[in-house]
Amino acid sequence: MKYLKLILPLLFPAALTQAQQITNAAYLDRFDGLFADVKINNRKVLLHRSGLVTIDKIENQGYFHTVVGIKDNAYGAINYNGKIIAPFTFDEVRLADEDDEYDPSNNYCYVITKLNGKYGAIDTLGNVICKNEYQLIEPLNARLLKIQRNGRWGWVELTTGKVLQEPAYTDVGKSYVSPYVEITNNGKKGLAKESGEVVAAPEYTSFHYPGIENSRQFGYEINGKIGLIDLSGKKITPAVYTRVQRGPVAGTFAVTQNGKTGIIDSTGKVLAALVYTEVSPFGSFLVVKQEQKFGVLDKSGAMVLPVQFDNLEVYSSNGQPQMSSTTLQKRWVSPEPAYFLAKKGALKELYDSTGKKHLSGNYPFITLYASQKGTFVVTKNAKGDQALLRTDGSAIIPTGFEELLDGYHSTYLYMDRAAGNQKKDYVAIAANGKMGLYHLPTSKMILPLKYTRIEWQNEQLLNVREGEDAYSMININGKVVKPLQRYGYYTAVAPDRIIETKYRDNGKLTTLTDESGAVLYSKEDWDFKENSFSRLLMKPGEEPEHIMYAEGLLKMWNVPEENLFLNMKGEEVRFKEYDFVSDFYNGLAIAGKMDANRNATYGIINRKGDIIYPITASDIKQFDSSLVLVKTDTLQGLLRKDGTVFIPMKYKQISSIYGIPYFKVSTSEGEGVLDSTGKEVIAPAFRELYYDKDHKLFQATTHDDKYGLIGLDGKVMLPAVYDELNRNNGYSADGFPVLVKKDNKYFYVDGEGKELPYASAKSKGYND
């Protein structure tokens, strides 16, 4: 056979590297994660994926696949590789682990053991961290565990087992003041370095985390009062405050005394007097409240807005409302405020972050409008009339404004995909029941407020609708290029070429004109449709909204001659060598010929009519966004959209594989797989290849119904010699070990092709 050499490795399993004592079981079940049900000596047990150990029951399974189990009524623990790290001799074993996705340096994993009332600890390699000699052991952080002896607590280094602090405290705990340990004696708290060196003696009620990442200063509490202290244990302020929280920036703090709040810096210097009843951080600003009035302070404590407003709303530069941020941790930092919307009495005013007032006038209603095109201001006067303004206060629509339009709307439709790079410079506006177009750079209305639909046809021309069914064409300067008509429509097929379709009593007339209106071509039986064009050779994302000139030619669809085009002058151009030619794109088009029996063959030509791909395919159609499928009656291949061959036409069938950029192919000899470059990674020699996307491997089935597994690189993971194959379907498993059947015997094979030392004549059934 052609592929004999390629599939020989699939037919012979790897020899076992050493002889193993095989345990015969009454039945074996497939693995579900780390364990499989097996029955040995009339006893149901759980076999670990390593094949090295069985247990009676799973007590707990941790983040890192460490398992606490029970065997023969004793507790023990196993790591992922199947090593018994804690022998099954303990009265109790508990998992201690942490998996911090944001900061992996906080991760740890070990087990705490109990024997005869005493606790010890063992790491995931089986190394003893602490012997069983303590009253209690509990997790402390990623580097330490806490130990108790004679009612007192200390701590041990996880990696070495070294006692860094002998048990001396009534409690020790994790401190949010990094990198210290919180120590407690007689109900009073202090701080110590991990080495055991005391930084702050246990004489405090508690410590207060200010919400500033890696802050060198934090709060301490004594007798219900709070002061500021630094990492060296030096008191910066006396304990005179009832609250200490973050200030506008790192190194500043909002402190409260007698119900009044102000700002101090890291030296205790007062930046803003303690006169406020409430403070709320927004970026590097504080919104403050005093006597039921609001104002704004900057990071230095200076007044940005006086405390005289009944309410304040905070907005970012893109017009989004901001929420107060209680922390300065990097993952939660909010954008800097750009605008403050202030209410005073019945009226509102808009200020920027420097305190500058942006609007003149008396408005009971102001809101910031966040649009794809920028931030705008909507105002409403006492009469209820709305206006649209820029954020500097200048008017865009001084009266009658309804809303900005970013796309589909129940009443209006604005489409700007064909506007190109300049789309950001224009915004559609609705007012008084109509819609217009505003040019942001020049601050001018390009189209007046009179339309219900505006569609960019290209970067120069726009199709507009008045009412329900009357259309006209207008250029980018606002000049009417095509007059309003009810019975017909316009399509811009080039920056200066327009197709006009007009319905008459005696039929439809289709005309090509230039922008000035000069008629270049006219045809009565041309059923022009703007969405009729070939997309086969177009790159993804580059498809136009409607048919356009390409290579100086406009394809005439829906006419008897399927090889007919118009040039820019309106002259007919025919590709007489071909019976069919599609639209050109990047200089290429699909071309076809008919034989005497009207059977068509297709290929690809260039603008000159030269053949780029032979006119031999019975069909050419879309395969995916970057490839086209070419077919004959019996074979298939793939072309790139520039006409070059990606996969030769030699396969009976080609299909994509969900989840990976690979291709399944078939020949008369079977199915195979090609990689993303078109290279054959699995020879087409199998009856079926099934891709397991969860485990990223292929299950191969031979023509005589034997099963195996193959990796994405084509490497044989398991030879196709088994009568049955059941993959490990547990969450986060790699598909192994697999339960297989061969020669009327069931057994397991791991990811390296090695058999686990268990076998049975039977797999677990429904009644087992």
**pLDDT 10s digits, 654-678:** 999 999 999 999 999 999 999 999 9
Residue 11 pLDDT > 50, yes or no? no
Closest by CA to 220, choosing from 194, 260, 188, is 188
Name the average pLDDT for the chain. Answer: 91
DSSP 408: B
376 Cα distance to chain centroid: 29
Over residues 712-739, the mean pLDDT reads: 91
Q: Mean pLDDT throughout 284-294?
A: 92
pLDDT in tens, 551-606: 999 999 999 999 999 999 999 999 999 999 999 999 999 999 999 888 999 999 99
Residue 16, pLDDT score: 39
Q: What is the DSSP letter of 310?
A: S
- Cβ atoms within 10 A of the Cβ of 282, count? 23
Q: Is 186 helix (H, G, I), strand (E, B) or coil?
A: coil
**pLDDT greater than 50 at residue 721:** yes
Convert 154-173 into a string of H (helix), E (strand) and C (coil): EEEECCCCCEEEEEEECEEE
Residue found under tokens 């970057």: 626
| Radius of gyration (C-alpha) of the chain in whole angstroms | 38
Query: Closest Cα partner for 439 from 478, 472, 406, 471?
Result: 478
Do the bridges between strand 636-640 and strand 645-651 make them parallel or antiparallel, or are there none, so unpaired?
antiparallel
Length of the chain measured in residues:
768
**Rounded distance, CA 544 to CA 562, Å?**
21
pLDDT score at 2: 42
- Rounded to whole angstroms, how far apart are CA atoms 439 and 433? 20
Residue with tokens 């151009």: 573
pLDDT-derived band at 210, boundaries 50, 70, 90 = confident
The confidence band for 37, taking pLDDT boundaries of 50, 70 and 90, is very high
pLDDT for the residue 660: 95
Start-to-end C-alpha separation, the chain: 44
- Compute CA 314 distance to the chain's CA centroid, rounded to the nearest angstrom: 28
pLDDT at 19: 52
Q: What does 362-390 look like in DSSP terms, one character per residue? A: -BSEEEEEEETTEEEEEEE-TT--EEEE-
pLDDT at 406: 65
- DSSP 8-state assignment for residue 45: E
pLDDT value at residue 627? 95
| Pairwise pLDDT comparison (541 vs 725), residue with the higher score | 725
Strand duo 23-25 + 755-760: pairing: parallel
- In this prediction, residue 364 has a pLDDT band, given cuts at 50, 70 and 90, of very high
| Position with higher pLDDT, 467 vs 306 | 306
355: confidence class by pLDDT, cuts 50, 70, 90:
very high
Query: pLDDT tens digits, residue range 493-525?
Result: 999 999 999 888 777 899 999 999 999 999 988
How far is 85 from 93, CA to CA, in rounded Å? 11
Tokens linked to 334? 């909010």
Quote the CA–CA distance of 475 and 458 in Å, as a whole number. 10
Question: Once rounded to an integer, what is the mean pLDDT over residues 79-106?
Answer: 94
Distance CA 379, CA 258 (A): 41
Q: What is the pLDDT of residues 588-602, one digit of tens each?
A: 999 999 998 889 999
Phi, psi values for residue 423, rounded to 5°: -60, -30
CA 661 to chain centroid: 19
> How confident is the model over 230-252, as pLDDT tens digits?
999 999 999 999 999 888 888 89
pLDDT score of 328 more than 70: no
Among left, alpha and beta (phi > 0; psi -120 to 50; other), residue 501 is beta
Q: Please state the pTM of the whole predicted model.
A: 0.77
340 pLDDT exceeds 70? Answer: yes
